C-alpha cells in the first residue's frame, strides 16, 4: 500500500510507510530483516496511526465534539500524534507525561500547541501516575480521554492498516514478527492480521528488563525485575485491554546496553538515526534471526526517529553518567 501522490492534509499522509531492508543485519544473520519505517509518518512515529484512529472514532461516536478537547497520558509519541492531528482538525489537546522523558518530546508537544502536564515518574498504583492524572483532567473538564491503553481503536487500526501493508509489501512472505509493546496495540493488531493470513507466522515480543510482559508471555504471570530501563513508551507492569489476548508466541528480553549498542550500529551500518524502542526491536529481531538460522524473513517496527533522543541516547556524556559503555562511533 503506497502513499498517494498528493495527500489532502497531514492526516491523509499517515500510513503507507515503506519496509526497509536492514542490509548489514540481513548479511550478518543470513535472514531478510525488514523494518516497517513508521518514523516516516508526518508526526514521526508509529503512534500517528492510532492518534488519527482514536480521534476519528471519537468524533463519529459523538464523544469528541467539534472544537473539543482531547486528554491523553503519553510518554511522548501518542501525545505528539494527537496534538498534530487534533490541531489540524481543530481540537485542543492536553497531554500528561512523566517529567523524566526526553525533553525533546516535551518541547515538541508545546510547539504543536498542546497543554503539557508533567507528572512524577511513579508506579501505576500511585495516584500521581500520568495515566490517573489524564483520567482526572478529562473528567474535570468534560473532555475526551483517548486512553490508548484500553481504546480498541488502537489495536484495530494496526489490524486494519499496518498488518495488511506488511502482508502486501512482503508478498505474503513473512516468517516472524518481532515488536515491543507499550499499550500493546501495535503488536497485537499486526499479529492478529498476519496470523489470519498464515497461522504459521511466529510473533515474538521484544521486552526491556524491568517490564512484566516477558514473564507474562513465558509463564502467564505478570512479574517484573526491579529495574529501570531507558527505552521510553514500551514495557508495562499490568495487563491492558490492547495487549490482552494478543497472539504472541514467544518473548525476548533486551538489556539497556543492547539498546545503546544497536542504536549506534544502526546509525553506522544502515544510515538510520532511530529511537530507543526501535533499537530494542532490532536487537531482538537479530537474536531471533540467529536462533532460527538463514533464509527467514523477519519483520520488525522502526517506531520513531532518534532526533527525539539527542539529549539521551545520542549524548555521550549522558550515557557515560548512567554507566553505559559508550560506542566508539
Catalytic residues: 47
Alpha helices in the chain (DSSP H): 23-29, 47-61, 77-88, 103-111, 130-141, 152-157, 163-169, 185-197, 213-219, 256-265, 276-292, 316-321
Decide the pairing of beta strands 69-73 and 115-119: unpaired
Of how many residues is the chain composed?
A: 329
Task: Compute the half-sphere exposure of residue 237: CA atoms within 13 Å on the CB side of its CA.
Answer: 12
- Cell digits for 263? 542504536
- Strand 32-37 and strand 19-21: the pairing is antiparallel
Residue 20 bridge partners (DSSP): 35
Is the dihedral angle over the CA atoms 266, 47, 207, 34 positive or is it negative? negative
What is d(CA 145, CA 287) in angstroms, rounded to the nearest whole number?
A: 38
What backbone phi and psi angles, to 5 degrees, belong to 245?
Answer: 80, 5
Amino acid at each position: 500500500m503506497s502513499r498517494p501522490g498528493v495527500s489532502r492534509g497531514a492526516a491523509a499522509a499517515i500510513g503507507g510507510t515503506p519496509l526497509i531492508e536492514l542490509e548489514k543485519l540481513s548479511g550478518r544473520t543470513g535472514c531478510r530483516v525488514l523494518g516497517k519505517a513508521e518514523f516516516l509518518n508526518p508526526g514521526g512515529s508509529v503512534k500517528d496511526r492510532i492518534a488519527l484512529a482514536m480521534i476519528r472514532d471519537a468524533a463519529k461516536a459523538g464523544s469528541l465534539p467539534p472544537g473539543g478537547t482531547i486528554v491523553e497520558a503519553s510518554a511522548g509519541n501518542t501525545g505528539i500524534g494527537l496534538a498534530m492531528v487534533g490541531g489540524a482538525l481543530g481540537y485542543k489537546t492536553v497531554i500528561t507525561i512523566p517529567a523524566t522523558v526526553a525533553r525533546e518530546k516535551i518541547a515538541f508537544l508545546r510547539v504543536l500547541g498542546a497543554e503539557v502536564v508533567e507528572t512524577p515518574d511513579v508506579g501505576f498504583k500511585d495516584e500521581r501516575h500520568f495515566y490517573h492524572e489524564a483520567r482526572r483532567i478529562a473528567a474535570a473538564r468534560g473532555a475526551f480521554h483517548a486512553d490508548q491503553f484500553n481504546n480498541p481503536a488502537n489495536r484495530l487500526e494496526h489490524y486494519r492498516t499496518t498488518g495488511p501493508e506488511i502482508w502486501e509489501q512482503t508478498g505474503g512472505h513473512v516468517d516472524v514478527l518481532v515488536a515491543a509493546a507499550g499499550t500493546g496495540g501495535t503488536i497485537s493488531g499486526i499479529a492478529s492480521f498476519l496470523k489470519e493470513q498464515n497461522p504459521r507466522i511466529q510473533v515474538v515480543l521484544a521486552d526491556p528488563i524491568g517490564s512484566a510482559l516477558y514473564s507474562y508471555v513465558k509463564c502467564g504471570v505478570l512479574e517484573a525485575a526491579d529495574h529501570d530501563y531507558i527505552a521510553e513508551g514500551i514495557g508495562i507492569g499490568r495487563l491492558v485491554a490492547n495487549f490482552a489476548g494478543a497472539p504472541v508466541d514467544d518473548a525476548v528480553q533486551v538489556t539497556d546496553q543492547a539498546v545503546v549498542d544497536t542504536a549506534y550500529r544502526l546509525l553506522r551500518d544502515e544510515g538510520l538515526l532511530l529511537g530507543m524502542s526501535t533499537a530494542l526491536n532490532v536487537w531482538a529481531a537479530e537474536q531471533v534471526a540467529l536462533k532460527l538460522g538463514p533464509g527467514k524473513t523477519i519483520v520488525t517496527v522502526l517506531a520513531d526517529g532518534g532526533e527525539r533522543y539527542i539529549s539521551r541516547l545520542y549524548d555521550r556524556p549522558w550515557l557515560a553518567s548512567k554507566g553505559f559503555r559508550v560506542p566508539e562511533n
